[in-house]
Amino acid sequence: MKKRISLTQYLVEQQRQHGHIPGQLRLLIEVVARACKRISLSVNKGALGDVLGSADTENVQGEVQKKLDVIANEVLIEANEWGGHLAAMASEEMEDIYAVPNRFPQGEYLLLFDPLDGSSNIDVNVSIGTIFSVLKKPETGAERREPHTLGEADFLQPGSAQAAAGYCVYGPQTTLVLTVGDGVAVFTLDREQGSWTLTQDGIRIPDDTQEFAINMSNKRHWAAPVTRYIDECLAGRDGPRGKDFNMRWIASMVADVHRILTRGGVFLYPWDKREPGKAGKLRLMYEANPMAFLIEQAGGAATDGRRRILDIAPQRLHERVSVVLGSKNEVDRATRYHLEADANPSSNPLPPLY
């Protein structure tokens, strides 16, 4: 019989043999995985669990929350607050950070998450997911024997500082995709056993692809380099790229990224002219950063059109960012088009903001 490796075994191995993860981080990942299992149960129940539809509340982004957004957020907080591995959490669904209450021990890590990404797909039974990012609590006054209240500023670290990142897709299969900085591993939820089993390790994204993902309905609002890149793809074999491209857009970043990790591709959610003061739709700290970490660990690339996403120094917890990620050669090309436009602003003006 084929030997199966559980998430726990994988993490213990990472801890023992590779020295990648301290005990607290291992516990943290196991707790997040357990929370995802609970979220997956609610997602699977759907109408039977009375979890579909709107919660009639708004989150900090001014978006109407779905019942499952709220449930997933609560599950993640309840699961993580008491174990002693965390100092604080931050979520797409909460305006402020959530410091671990005083009655529980405080750990070394900070956890950020989008509890249920792809909210527009919840009620229509299309794949959705949970995205998470783990940072180390910066050395603070407490270590220096000075009083320090944990605040938003402690979270404002670049994506390159992430200790771990991952997502869980609630789709035809429930899969947990994880990096602790040693490649990307995929675990599939075995529903009968209730356990996560390693089903893929060392994922590599091909450098080239003939598949792109973008919301084409926004085309008239794009900046010129994005239009140039997509138009060239659409021109197919007879155009400058000399090959045909296919398009996919699931409108759940987790599902689009999962496809790219599985068979390559490029994903773009660029800045557009609808709201010029907004750098993009996706959030840097709990959407773009964890995905960029995973994509780079699998040999792909992730930029905001100009800069490597993992190098961006965040200014605010909920800040947004333009995103281009996936197969390296395509991301490099789209990024080059932006930089060329920057170098020649008169022929191709781009807002300085993104």
The residues, ordered by sequence, that sit 6+ positions from 102 with a Cβ below 8 Å of its Cβ are none
**Residues in region 34-93 near ligand AHM by CB under 6 A:** 63, 92
We find the least distance from the C-beta atom of residue 254 to Mg ion, in angstroms, to be 8
Rounded Cα–Cα distance for residues 319 and 287 (Å):
10
Rg (CA), the chain: 20
Q: Is 114 in the site for Mg ion (CB under 5 A)?
A: yes
Is 114 a binder of ligand AHM (CB under 6 A)? yes
Residue in the shown chain whose Cβ atom is closest to ligand AHM: 253
Closest CB 284 distance from ligand AHM, rounded Å: 13
Least distance from Mg ion to the Cβ atom of residue 126, Å: 14
Among 41, 55, 234, 251, binds ligand AHM (CB under 6 A): 251
Query: CA angle, 260 as apex, 224 and 157 as ends, to 5°?
Result: 75
The binding track of 117-146 with respect to Mg ion, each residue x by CB under 5 A or -, is x-----------------------------
Residue 251 binds which one of Mg ion, ligand AHM, none, with CB within 5 to 8 A depending on kind?
A: ligand AHM
CA dist., res. 53 & res. 47, Å (int): 9
Q: Which residues pair with 89 in a beta bridge?
A: 98, 111
119 binds, options Mg ion, ligand AHM, none, Cβ within 5 to 8 A by partner type: ligand AHM
Q: Does 294 bind ligand AHM (CB under 6 A)?
A: no
Sole binder of ligand AHM in the list 81, 93, 117, 330 (CB under 6 A) = 117
Q: Give the number of other Cβ atoms within 10 Å of residue 277's Cβ.
A: 6
Asked if 178 and 146 touch (Cβ cutoff 8 Å), the reply is no
Question: Strands (DSSP E) along 59-117, which ranges?
Answer: 64-66, 86-91, 98-99, 109-117
Interface residue with ligand AHM, options 174, 252, 327, 335 (CB under 6 A): 252
Q: Which stretch binds ligand AHM (CB under 6 A): 36-44, 178-186, 237-245, 246-254?
A: 246-254
Distance CA 165, CA 353 (A): 27
Q: Interface residues for ligand AHM in 268-287 (CB under 6 A)?
A: 269, 281
CA triple 11-13-17, angle to 5 deg: 135
Report what 154 binds from Mg ion, ligand AHM, none; CB cut-off 5-8 Å by kind: none
AA letter at 45: K
Binding segment (CB under 6 A) for ligand AHM, from list 74-82, 195-203, 251-259, 337-345: 251-259
SS3 196: strand
- Cβ neighbour number for residue 290 with a 10 Å cutoff: 26
Q: Which residues of 83-117 are buried (b: 16+ CB within 10 A; e: fewer)?
A: bebbbbbbbbbbeebbbbeeeeebbebbbbbbbbb
> In angstroms, how far is CA 273 from the centroid of its own chain?
24
Position 126 contacts ligand AHM (CB under 6 A): no
Q: Which of 9, 57, 120, 246 binds ligand AHM (CB under 6 A)?
A: 120
Query: With CB under 5 A, what is the number of residues at the site for Mg ion?
Result: 2
Interface residues with ligand AHM (CB under 6 A)?
A: 63, 92, 114, 117-120, 215, 251-253, 269, 281
Interface residues with Mg ion (CB under 5 A)?
A: 114, 117
